[in-house]
C-alpha cells in the first residue's frame, strides 16, 4: 500500500492518528493551568519568609528538575496508583480501583511542569521593580491586593518567553505519556505501524504533526509577546 492510502485511504489509519493528535493537544492544554499555576504557587512560597516552606519547595524543584522527565512521570504515575490501591484497601473495597490514565498523565505532567515553571515565575517576580509594591502599599492596598492587582498583571509580559519555552517542552513531553496507557499521537502511530509494519510512514506522519504544533506555537508565542510588549520600547 502507498503511504497515501495508509494514511488517508478508506480503511487508512488517519482517523486514529487524528484522535491521537486530539489527545496530545488536550493533554498539553489541560496541563497548562495546573502546571503553570502550581509553578506560580511554588514560586510565591519560595519567596515567602517561611524557611521550612522554602526548603521544601526548593527540594521539590531540585528533585523534579534533576531527574529524567520519564522517570518523574513513572514515579508520579505508579506512586499514585500505589496510593489509590492503599486507599481502596483501607476502604475495604473488593474491586481494584483503576486510575484513569489520562487524568494520571495530566497530573504527572503538571508535577513536572510546575517544577520547571516555578523558576521562570521566580525570575519574573524578581524582575518587577520593588517600587511597584511599595507604591501600592503606600496607596493603602493590602498585600493580597498588591499581588493580584499590581504584580500579577505585570508578570505575564515578563514570564512569557520562559513559559513559551516550557510549553514547547511540555508539548514534546506529552509523547512520554504514550509509554503509560494513553493513546496519544505517538502511541497511535506505534499501533498503526505495528498493524501495518510500516513504521517509517506513521512515525514520519507523527513527527510532521508535532512539527506543525511547534511551529504554530512559535508563531503564536511571537504574536503574544508582541502584543504584551506593545507600549514598551
Where along the sequence are the contacts to another protein (CB under 8 A)?
62-63, 65-72, 74-75, 78-79, 82, 116, 161, 164-166, 168-169, 172-176, 178-179, 186, 189-190, 193, 197-200, 203-204, 206-207, 210-211, 214-215, 218, 221-222
**DSSP letters of 80-114?**
HHHHHHHHHHHTT-SSPPPPPHHHHHHHHHHHHHH
Nearer Cβ to another protein (93/216): 216
How near is the Cβ of 162 to another protein at its closest, in Å? 9
Look up residue 139 and give its DSSP letter.
T
DSSP string for residues in 141-186: --HHHIIIIIIHHHHHHHHHHHHHHHHHHHHHHGGGGGGTT---HH
Smaller CB separation from another protein, 70 or 87: 70
Q: Which CB, 109 or 176, lies closer to another protein? A: 176
The least CB distance from residue 30 to another protein, in Å, is 18
Q: What is the Cβ-side half-sphere exposure of residue 223, based on CA atoms within 13 angstroms?
A: 6
Please state, in angstroms and rounded to a whole number, the distance separating the CA atoms of residues 95 and 105.
22
Distance CA 115, CA 127 (A): 19
Compute the least distance from the CB of residue 16 to another protein, in Å.
Answer: 16
Q: What is the largest CA-CA distance in the chain?
A: 73
Q: What's the grid cell of residue 146?
A: 498588591
Q: For residue 131, which phi and psi values (nearest 5 degrees)?
A: -60, -30
Least Cβ distance, residue 93 to another protein (angstroms): 20
Task: List the end-to-end C-alpha distance of the chain, in Å, as a whole number.
Answer: 57
Name the minimum Å distance from CB 154 to another protein. 20
Least Å distance, CB 161 to another protein, is 8
Between residues 103 and 211, which has the closer beta carbon with respect to another protein? 211
Q: In angstroms, rounded to a whole number, what is the distance separating the alpha carbons of residues 45 and 49? A: 8
With respect to another protein, which residue has the nearer C-beta, 62 or 100?
62
Quote the least distance from Cβ 214 to another protein, whole Å.
4
Nearest residue (CB) to another protein, 151 versus 165: 165
Check if the beta carbon of residue 81 is closer than 8 Å to that of residue 99. Answer: yes
Q: Which C-beta is closer to another protein: that of 71 or that of 93?
A: 71
10, 20, 70, 160: CA torsion to nearest 10: 130
Amino acid at each position: 500500500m502507498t503511504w497515501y492510502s495508509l494514511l488517508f485511504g478508506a480503511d487508512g489509519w488517519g482517523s486514529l492518528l487524528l484522535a491521537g493528535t486530539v489527545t496530545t493537544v488536550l493533554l498539553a492544554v489541560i496541563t497548562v493551568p495546573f502546571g503553570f499555576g502550581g509553578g506560580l504557587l511554588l514560586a510565591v512560597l519560595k519567596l515567602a519568609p517561611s524557611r521550612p516552606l522554602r526548603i521544601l519547595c526548593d527540594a521539590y524543584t531540585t528533585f523534579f528538575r534533576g531527574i529524567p522527565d520519564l522517570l518523574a512521570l513513572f514515579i508520579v504515575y505508579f506512586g499514585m496508583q500505589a496510593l489509590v490501591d492503599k486507599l481502596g484497601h483501607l476502604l475495604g473495597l473488593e474491586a481494584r480501583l483503576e486510575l484513569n490514565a489520562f487524568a494520571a498523565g495530566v497530573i504527572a505532567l503538571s508535577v513536572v511542569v510546575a517544577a520547571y515553571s516555578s523558576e521562570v515565575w521566580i525570575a519574573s517576580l524578581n524582575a518587577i521593580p520593588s517600587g511597584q509594591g511599595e507604591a501600592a502599599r503606600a496607596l493603602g492596598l493590602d498585600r493580597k491586593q498588591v499581588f493580584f492587582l499590581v504584580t500579577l498583571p505585570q508578570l505575564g509580559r515578563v514570564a512569557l518567553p520562559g513559559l513559551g519555552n516550557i510549553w514547547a517542552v511540555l508539548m514534546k513531553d506529552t509523547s512520554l505519556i504514550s509509554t503509560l496507557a494513553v493513546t496519544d499521537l505517538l502511541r497511535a502511530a506505534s499501533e498503526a505501524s505495528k498493524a501495518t509494519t510500516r513504521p517509517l510512514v506513521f512515525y514520519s506522519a507523527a513527527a510532521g504533526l508535532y512539527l506543525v504544533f511547534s511551529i504554530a506555537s512559535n508563531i503564536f508565542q511571537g504574536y503574544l509577546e508582541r502584543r504584551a510588549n506593545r507600549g514598551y520600547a
